Each structure stands twice: as C-alpha cells, then as structure tokens.
Amino acid sequence: MSEQDLPEIKKESLAQRAKEYDASQIQVLSGLEAVRKRPGMYIGSTSAQGLHHLVWEIIDNGIDEALAGFATEINIEVEPDNSVTVTDDGRGIPVDIQAKTGRPALETVFNVLHAGGKFGGGGYKVSGGLHGVGASVVNALSTSLDVEVHRNGHRYYMDFERGKVKTPMKILGDIDPQEHGTKVHFLPDPDIFTETTVYDDHTLETRIRELAFLNKGLKLTFTDKRKETAEKLEFHYVGGIKSYVEYLNENKDVIFPEPIYVEGMQNGITVEVAIQYTDDYHSNLMTFANNIHTYEGGTHEAGFKAALTRVINDYGHRNNILKESEKLSGDDVREGMTAVVSIKHPDPQFEGQTKTKLGNSDARTVTDRMFSEHFNKFLLENPNEARQIVEKGMLASRARVAAKRAREVTRKKSGLEISNLPGKLADNSSKDPEISELFIVEGDSAGGSAKEGRSRLTQAILPIRGKILNVEKASMDRILANDEIRTLFTAMGTGFGEDFDVQKARYHKLIIMTDADVDGAHIRTLLLTLIYRYMRPILDAGYVYIAKPPLYQVRQGKMVRYIDSDEELKDVMVTLQPSPKPVIQRYKGLGEMDAEQLWDTTMNPENRRLDRVSGDAAADADRVFSMLMGDKVAPRREFIEENARYAELDL
Ligand code: TSJ
C-alpha cells in the first residue's frame, strides 16, 4: 500500500508521525551529544572511576529487574579487549513500537537520555548510580554497543556506534517462548576515556561481591576473560548483609557467633541492619542507601546510631549493670562493633561533598524505630550477650575517660597546636583550605624535589622518612608520642581523637606520594591505616588522594596516555594504529626525578593523575588491615602467600 492509496485522515497522521519522529531523532542526537561533550556531568569523571561507572550503570538495570522480582541472576564478563558483557534472566527489555516516537522501546532505552525506569510503571527504581541516568549514557560513551533480548519467543538484536543506531532492531531467530532475558555488550570509547580503558578486576570483583551482599538471594557472577585461566566467580548470599558482617569479621574474634539481623519496611522504606561485636578497639560501620555506599553517612546512619546508644543505655540502667549516673557515649557502644545498615528508599536525596550523604529525614525515624524495636527484643531474649555488650561499652568508656585525662595533662607537650607547625613541613602560602594541598612524600630526596618543583601558593610538602608506626595495635599514647604522626596531625590542623574536627582541615587534599614499588606500597598502607583509624572523617569527606606517578608516557599526535605497567604498555601498543608513530617515554622512581619532572608528571594539576581514596577500598581495607596488622597469624600468612606473586612482579 503506497501513501497515495491511503484515506486523507491517515495521510495526515502519517505526516504527523514523520514530524514527531524527526523531532524525537533530533532530541536523541542532541541528548547523546550532550553526554559526549560533558561526560563528567553524567558519570562523574572520565578517569578509571568513570570507566567503571559504565559497568555499574548497566548492572543497575539488571538489579532493578531483580528487585522487581523478575530476575534471579546477573552475569558480568570482561572480554579480552576490555569490553564488558552483562546478562540477566529478567523479562527482557520491551521491544514493542511506542506510539509517541514510533520507535521500538528497546531503541529508546539506549538512545534517549533518562529513558531508564520509565517503562512498565509500578515498582519503583531502587538502584541507580549517583547520577540516576542509565543505558543511554553508557551507549553514548561506547564505540560500540550491542544488545540481545529474549522475549515473546524471539531473539531480538540491535547495535549502536557511539550512541547512534547502526543495525535497527531485528529478529535473529526463535526460541522457547518460556525463555527470557537481556544481554548488553559494550566497548568504552578511548576518545572519552583518555586516561585508561583497562578495567580493574579487583574493583569489579569487590563491588560485585558487595552488590550480592546488598541484594540477598540475587546471584551475581564475574568472569575476567582477559586471564588465561578465567574462572567464573559466583556471589550468592541468602543471608544478605548478615553474611556481609560475617565476611568483614572473618579475621576477627567475635563476641557472639551470629550477627543480629533486622529487616523491615515502613512508609515504602525498606531497612536492613546486621551487627556483630568483636574484641577489636575499632568500629566498622558501613551504611548504604539504594545500594550506594553512603560514606558520608546521613539520616539512616544517624537513626541507627541514636537507637543503638539509647537502647544499650536503657538496658544497662534497667538491669542495674550501669549506674543511674553512668552514660555510655556513641563511641563507647560502637567500640568493637561491625555493622552494615542498608536501606532502600523510593526517592533518595544524596547530599554532601561526594554526594554520598543521605538527606531524607524519614529515613532517620524509620531506621531508628525499626532497629530499636528489634534490638531491644534481642537484648531481652539474650541476657548473656546483652551483658557483654553493655560491659564492653563500660570498658570503652573508662578507657576513654582515662585517655582524655592523660591527653589533657600532656596537651601542652603534645604540640598539636598549629602555632607549633613542624619545621619539616614546607607549607603553602594560601590560607584557603579549598585550594590547599598537602603532599606526603616518601623520602627526603623526593621531598626536596617536590619542595622545589611545587606551586608554592597551593601545595605544601611533608617528607616522611621510611616506615611510619603501625597504628593497628598501638595505644593512643604511643601514637601521639610518635613524631612523624604528630607532625601529620599538626599540619592537617584537625586535632586528634575525640577533638578531631574535619572542619578545621587546613587542606582539602591530602595526597600520598610514594614510589610504585613494594616499599612504597607498604608506606602507603601504613599511612592509609592511620588515616582510616584516626582521621576517618577526612576520608569520608573525600579529601584523601593517592598520587600516581606514571611508569610510561605514550604520545601519538595530540593523544597523550600515561601507563602504569609493562603489561598495559603492551596492550596499548597493540591497539594503536600505525601512524603517526607513537613516542614512548619511561619514567624513573620518584627519588630519581628532578623537580621539573616531578611537577610535570605527578604534581601539576593540569596533567597529574590522582586516585581519590573513596572508601570503595575501605570495606576491604578494614579486612585487609585487620589481617595484615592484627593478631591472627594464619590468615596473614595465607594473604601474603596468595599475593607474593604480585609483590615479586613489583620488584
Ligand atoms: F542485563 C543488563 F544488566 F545488562 C541489562 C538489563 C541492561 C539493561 C540496559 C537493561 C536490562 C533489563 C531491563 N533487564 N530487564 C529489564 N526489564 C525491563 O526493561 C522491563 C521488562 C518488562 C516490563 C514490563 O512491564 O513488561 C518492564 C520493564 C521495565
């Protein structure tokens, strides 16, 4: 039937259709161009973090399908070319033609901005990255993306190039009508991700494991096909965050064998809490909202903390374990505690420096009520455990009072006042913390070069000599007596212990600059342990960074890439086209660089690379620190044996 044969009215609607189609296509293109023009606005940055964000965005779609009750498994595979395949066993993305655009829903999901979650109505979208955008952003930032949907007894296929349709949706063949699912495969665009297009297996594995803990019953698998002996790792926890707490406490001595676990829902908000005490002096509290790690805490965390403190004090008083006049502080009742709080909110508000602080006030009340009711019941039903928890808090309280008294006596001697700035520190001239950076530099030689090469206005240098004190098992007194550590606290200006105040930070960037070898890694771990245990708020505020002096620079025309390993260099050289000829430069260790080289490669904000220590690593860090620095010998030996191979490679 040609257009001429159509009745008048239909012709009009066809013309209308065509117009609407054109309009929607223009929207599509301008939307995707906006993403390619300012990728940072949509995925945070185009660094390694942004590269990984693409995977999280795609996985989120599968998790939504699982939370809606339709998918049970998500498989993630990294291909040898650093492209990624994600598969779920959900209903399959809808493929019907939409009235509004005249295009298949599948196409719209991938090339219209903010299309995610618009279909199907009902069930709210719970996961979703910081930016709440989805598949179309990933598509716009990929050189190629292909998708296969199993639905209605057919295998549907389509693909894209840099966000634009290459092969329109077609049917590849028929399948059993019972089969269903979605498979997405994408290759990140090196023109966008100029720093690196290489996925980090550890980052992927850690987050995928975490997602499995946070979504109990959901099975996630991870296969890194770049490895010769690629094994399929399976993460599936029926216990959810209760299993997470057990995992976090694996290398610790616990006070009671089973974590306490609470789950409930109110006003559309789901709350889960798992908590277990150990004989540690530290506490490890991780909170999540809609699967996002809320490093900066927020209302759900405040509600949990308030409930914990109140319930323990009430119980102690009612059972005459605590005197009427005695009151345990929040820090007291959290000593030795490992806890995970995870809430799912229909409309989460993220605030704070790094948009990882939950702002919804209803999350506070619901978390407080839900946890306190259940925890109270637990204490009543388990008097032995209850007594141990209260008594542990009392011990902590006494130690804290004693430490405070000791600190007050030695306050003058402790020299933590800023007026007492240490001589080794080469301070910067600006007094504006927002633009001020403190470099902690390994070795006096690199320290000297850094002082000479820095921007004096914004960059302060603090050289440290070799290994600092391992704070994991040292008492507060010993830590405060350590010159190197005191110097760092004085320079930061934040105070120590209970007096710690992140608002007083004199620098909003603390940058650890150590050599890319085993010693450098050890010094970095010691510094991070110190920061993690005693300066945690600056970590949560996103102030802590690791400088990444490159091993190589590869230049080809206008393109400049910094390379961290021989392996990566090989990979990159293979992918580069024959002309113009790439130029490779090898960098030496920090100590061997002169002031200008150090500035050019590692300190100049224009072209340096910094890794923000987000605490992405912190969950793992707690486990690893406990293992490396703690009492239990067997897990440490295992860890060192397992990682010896990598340590040797570094030498
Ligand atoms: F697999 C995956 F993780 F890579 C992935 C899965 C990636 C993307 C972009 C989407 C999905 C996905 C989407 N899995 N399942 C769905 N489901 C839907 O989009 C869907 C299916 C049916 C209905 C319905 O109402 O019938 C509604 C929706 C939203």
* pLDDT tens-digit readout, 211-257: 999 999 999 999 999 998 889 999 999 999 999 999 999 989 999 99
Nearest CA to ligand 1 atom 16: 93
Rg (CA), the chain: 27
Name the residue with higher pLDDT: 518 or 266.
Answer: 266
For the chain, the helix, strand and coil percentages under 3-state DSSP, each to the nearest 5: 45, 20, 35
Q: Report the residue among 91, 111, 184 best suited for mutation to probe ligand 1: largest number of ligand atoms under 8 A from its CB.
A: 91
d(CA 416, CA 430): 21
Question: Which neighbouring-strand residues pair with 513?
Answer: 441
**Which of residues 549 and 341 earns the better pLDDT score?**
341
**Looking at ligand 1, which residue's alpha carbon is closest to its atom 17?**
93
Q: How are beta strands 509-513 and 437-442 bridged, if at all?
A: parallel
In the chain the first and final C-alpha atoms are separated, in Å, by 74
pLDDT digits (tens, 9 = 90+) for 2-51: 444 444 555 556 677 677 767 777 777 678 999 999 999 889 899 999 99
Give the model's confidence band at 132: pLDDT under 50 very low, under 70 low, under 90 confident, else very high.
very low
pLDDT band of residue 640 (cuts 50, 70, 90) is low
Q: pLDDT at position 133, please?
A: 47
**What are the C-alpha distances in Å from 372 to residues 56, 381, 384, 410, 547?**
33, 14, 19, 40, 43
Among 151, 182, 211, name the best residue to mutate to test ligand 1's pocket (greatest count of ligand atoms within 8 A of Cβ). 182
Taking the CA of residue 109 as reference, the ligand 1 atom at the shortest distance is 9
Q: Is the CB of 77 under 6 A from ligand 1?
A: no
Element (H, E) at 116: none
- Length of the chain equals 651
Give catalytic residues, as residue numbers.
442, 515, 517, 519
Q: Is 72 in the pocket of ligand 1 (CB under 6 A)?
A: no
CA gap 258, 262 in Å, rounded:
12
Q: Is 72:220 a contact under the CB 8 Å cutoff?
A: no
Chain centroid to CA 177: 39
Output the CA 374–ligand 1 centroid distance in Å. 36
Of 88, 108, 114, 126, which is best to mutate to test ligand 1, by the most ligand atoms within 8 angstroms of its C-beta? Answer: 88
- The closest alpha carbon to 146, from 91, 100, 187, belongs to 187
68 lines ligand 1 (CB under 6 A): no
Q: What confidence tier does 591 reach under pLDDT thresholds 50, 70, 90?
A: confident
Of 116-120, 260-264, 294-298, 312-316, the least confident: 116-120
Residue ranges with strand state E in 128-180: 142-151, 154-161, 164-174
Q: Give the Å distance between the CA of 149 and the centre of ligand 1.
A: 9
Give the dihedral sign, CA 168/172/178/181.
negative
DSSP string across 439-487: EEEESHHHHHHHHHHS-TTTEEEEEE-SPPP-GGG--HHHHHH-HHHHH
Tokens of 610: 């910094």
CA–CA distance, 344 with 356 (Å, rounded to integer) = 14
- Token reading at 289: 């909202």
Would you state the pLDDT for residue 275? 98
Q: Kindly report, residue by residue over 535-552, the tens digit of the pLDDT.
A: 988 988 889 999 988 888
Taking the centre of ligand 1 as the mean of its atom positions, its distance from the CA of residue 17, in whole angstroms, is 27
pLDDT above 70: residue 122: no
- Ligand 1 atom closest to Cα of 105? 19
Residue 453's pLDDT is 93
Q: How many CB atoms sit inside 10 A of residue 296's CB?
A: 21
CA distance 196 to 187: 13
**In whole angstroms, what is the distance from residue 95 CA to residue 187 CA?**
23
Higher pLDDT pick, 361 / 577? 361
Is the CB–ligand 1 distance for residue 86 below 6 Å? yes
Residue 580, ligand 1, Cβ within 6 A: no
**DSSP state, 602?**
I
- Cα-Cα-Cα-Cα torsion 296, 300, 305, 310, nearest 10 degrees, comes to 160
Q: Is the CB of 527 under 6 A from ligand 1?
A: no
Cβ atoms 393, 367 nearer than 8 A: no
Contact assessment for residue 336 and residue 284, using Cβ atoms and an 8 Å cutoff:
no
> 76 and 85 in contact (C-beta within 8 Å)?
yes
Query: Is the pLDDT higher at 391 or at 558?
Result: 391
- Separation of 124 CA from ligand 1 center, angstroms? 13
Whether 648 shows a pLDDT value over 50: the answer reads no
297 backbone φψ class: left, alpha, beta (φ>0; ψ -120 to 50): left
Q: Considering the chain, what is the average pLDDT of its residues?
A: 86
Helix extents (H) in 249-334 = 299-318, 330-334
Contact in structure between 471 and 489 (CB atoms under 8 Å): no
Q: Confidence band (pLDDT; 50, 70, 90) for 630?
A: low
- In the prediction, which pLDDT does 423 show? 72
Work out the angle at residue 149's Cα, subtended by the Cα atoms of residues 143 and 154, and round it to the nearest 5 degrees: 135
